[in-house]
Amino acid sequence: MKIIAVNAGSSSLKFQLLEMPEEKEIASGIVERIGNKNAEFTFKFNGEKFVKKGEILDHSKAVELVIEGLLKHGVINKLEEIEGVGHRVVQGGELFKDSAVIDDEVVAKIASLNDLAPLHNPAHIIGINAFRKALPNVIQVAVFDTTFHQTMPEESYLYSVPFEWYEKYGVRKYGAHGTSHQYVSEIAAKRLGKEDTKIVVCHIGNGASITAVKNGKSVDTSMGLTPLEGIPMGTRSGNVDPTIFGLIAKKEGKSIDQILNDLNKHSGYLGVSGVSHDSRDIVDAAHQGNHRAQLAITIQAKRIADYIGSYFVLMGGLDAIVFTAGIGENAKEVREAIVDRLSAVGAKLDPVANNSRGEKEISAADSKVKIWVIPTNEEVMIARDVMRLRK
């Protein structure tokens, strides 16, 4: 059975076609710079990569290109071979405790949460509507980044703000990257060979979040009401003192929206280093003696270690730390900078193992905490939920 997993962004659309239940990738690709005359469609199948450039003005056209690519390259012979579509949706709020089969009511509910994910949910809806139009008779499922974190207790997800903000507007911590944290923590639990587990998952990419997973359930996570809270990221600041808003508004005459834009798009690695939002550029610059680039890595590592230490206390111990996502899986210097700060919890890195790539244990033989690199696969989690809900 062929299931397609879709992740629509404001100007992009990623997909992966999987054979289920084998969970085998058949084809994948991404449409980038949607709405631009210089858009690009990259299609991967059977070990080959095909790139098409040109004008792609909207997500409907992007969906057409994806389906056209599947047919043109012989991945499928007819559309009816696709028996399910799963859509990643960042924000499900308190409306969705689980993934949901999409209908008009579900789309309306997702739209009602746009204020909680203004950069993501509207784009997801565009992608959902485009696929519903292209494949009207196929089950479509929304899989929410926030669902896995619904198990957090009140003490973890409530803020110490006027309670009516929560009651009226849903102001609370929701978290993100839930499908990734769930996927990776399940693999880690299998490796540990027991159900009673205390695991911290470090999903570190351009966006990054840290989650405490106890006995398979999220009990706390670093991202909050939006993906801005938590640790410094590629362009996001992570936690800051809220009085910064008043200071910068007064000193520079900026609006709240402008300051939020600075915190979301001009901070983190980029803001501190002045070099780039890309960890590879930051590491290269640090090796060349750029102090601010090194500082960007050091600040992030310190904040991540802070979260891991607090989760050690929260869960009453720690069995494993898992690194995943683009930076977590590939940036050995970042992993080293983090683990070097964790001797108090008994974590120790094997420098030789840390130099390798792919799925691997990288903890030293005398480490009291297992440390792994486990590549994430959010698309598989999405496809699994499509399979579960189509029955």
Write out the binding residues for ATP.
14, 203-207, 278-280, 326-330
Sign of the Cα torsion 164, 168, 169, 172 reads positive
Q: Which residues contact 254 (CB under 8 A, 6 or more apart)?
A: 248, 262
> Is 306 tagged catalytic?
no
Distance CA 121, CA 8 (A): 9
Name the nearest CA neighbour of 149 among 240, 216, 207, 231.
Answer: 216
Annotated binding site for substrate: 88
Distance CA 19, CA 25 (A): 6
Give me the residues paired with residue 67 across strands.
none
Annotated binding site: 7, 14, 88, 203-207, 278-280, 326-330, 378
| Helix (H), strand (E), coil (C) string for 266-291 | CCHHHHHHCCCCCHHHHHHHHHCCCH
Catalytic residue among 145, 220, 350, 385: 145
Annotated binding site for Mg(2+): 7, 378
Q: Which SS3 state, helix, strand or coil, does residue 124 take?
A: helix
Name the nearest CA neighbour of 208 among 230, 190, 184.
Answer: 230
Residue 250's CB: how many other CB atoms inside 10 A?
Answer: 9
Distance CA 353, CA 360 (A): 8
Give me the residues paired with residue 25 across strands.
18
Give me the residues paired with residue 349 across strands.
363
Amino acid at residue number 40: E
Distance CA 117, CA 109 (A): 13
Q: Which residues are catalytic?
A: 145
